[in-house]
């Protein structure tokens, strides 16, 4: 059964638990032809999304990872701007700074939410280490001022800091 085939009919649908009749338009409950079949497909998708019960841990994890992606994208933008020229020559685009700030806030707040969902925590050393790494990444654009020869080393160091933070999160060594 192909839900996106033009000749799809509602009569082909299995009577499963996620097919809620109250979400379907009246025409789709009968024949399911034409525009009503399209509405039926969207209703099924909407009903499936409603039935996915995401735990708050996974929601915080999604926000935490989104913040990490924003943060490292912004660091790449900062490095690109530093490689091209001086700050006076090429002003920093506003969205790079916004990505950096939004990424930092998302990583911090979602990380606190993840800690609240973990429950009992035996040691706090890895949390302090991750916070220190986050603060280093927060002031990372300041390190980029200077000679261009050290930019590859700074880029590699930022990636290594991210890997160390991931190691702390996964293994909680101390």
Question: How much is the pLDDT for 55?
Answer: 76
Question: How much is the pLDDT for 90?
Answer: 65
> Are residues 105 and 38 both part of a single domain?
no
> Are residues 82 and 114 both part of a single domain?
yes
User: Is 33 a domain residue?
Assistant: yes
Residue 16 has pLDDT above 60, yes or no: no
**Which residues constitute the domain of residue 136?**
56-171
> Are residues 73 and 134 both part of a single domain?
yes
**What is the DSSP track for 82-149?**
HHH--TTTSPPPHHHHHHHHHHHHHHHHHHHHHHHHH---S--HHHHHHHHHHHHHHSHHHHTSS-GG
**Which pLDDT tens digit goes with each residue over 53-72?**
667 888 889 999 999 999 99
Residue 37 has pLDDT above 50, yes or no: yes
Question: 158 and 72 in contact (C-beta within 8 Å)?
Answer: yes
CB-count exposure of residue 99 (10 Å: 0-12, 13-18, 19+): buried
User: Is 3 a domain residue?
Assistant: no
> Are residues 75 and 95 both part of a single domain?
yes
Residue 153 has pLDDT above 90, yes or no: yes
User: Is 1 a domain residue?
Assistant: no
Question: How much is the pLDDT for 160?
Answer: 97
> Are residues 45 and 63 both part of a single domain?
no
> Are residues 46 and 86 both part of a single domain?
no
At residue 93 the predicted structure's pLDDT band, cuts being 50, 70 and 90, is: confident
- Total structural domains within the chain: 2
> Are residues 82 and 139 both part of a single domain?
yes
Q: Which element (helix H / strand E) includes 66? A: helix 56-84
> Are residues 66 and 130 both part of a single domain?
yes
Q: How many CA atoms lie within 13 A of 25 on its CB side?
A: 15
Question: How much is the pLDDT for 19?
Answer: 46
Question: 69 and 132 in contact (C-beta within 8 Å)?
Answer: no
Residue that wins the pLDDT comparison between 152 and 25: 152
Number of Cβ atoms within 10 Å of the Cβ of 76? 14
Residue 50 has pLDDT above 80, yes or no: no
> Are residues 65 and 146 both part of a single domain?
yes
**Which pLDDT tens digit goes with each residue over 114-149?**
888 887 777 789 999 999 999 999 999 888 888 888
């Amino acid at each position: 059964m192909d839900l996106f085939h033009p000749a799809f009919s509602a009569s082909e649908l299995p009577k499963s638990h996620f097919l809620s009749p109250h979400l379907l338009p009246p025409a789709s409950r009968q024949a399911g032809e034409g525009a009503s079949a399209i509405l039926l497909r969207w209703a099924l998708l909407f009903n499936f999304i409603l039935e996915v019960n995401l735990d708050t841990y996974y929601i915080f994890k999604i926000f935490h990872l989104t913040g990490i992606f924003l943060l490292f994208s912004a660091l790449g933008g900062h490095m690109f701007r530093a490689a091209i020229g001086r700050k006076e020559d090429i002003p920093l685009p506003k969205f790079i700074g916004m990505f950096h700030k939004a990424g930092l806030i998302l990583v911090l707040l979602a990380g606190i939410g993840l800690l609240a969902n973990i429950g009992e925590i035996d040691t706090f050393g890895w949390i302090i280490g991750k916070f220190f790494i986050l603060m280093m990444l927060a002031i990372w654009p300041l390190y980029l001022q200077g000679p261009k020869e050290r930019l590859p080393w700074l880029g590699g160091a930022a990636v290594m800091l991210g890997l160390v933070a991931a190691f702390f999160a996964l293994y909680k060594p101390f």
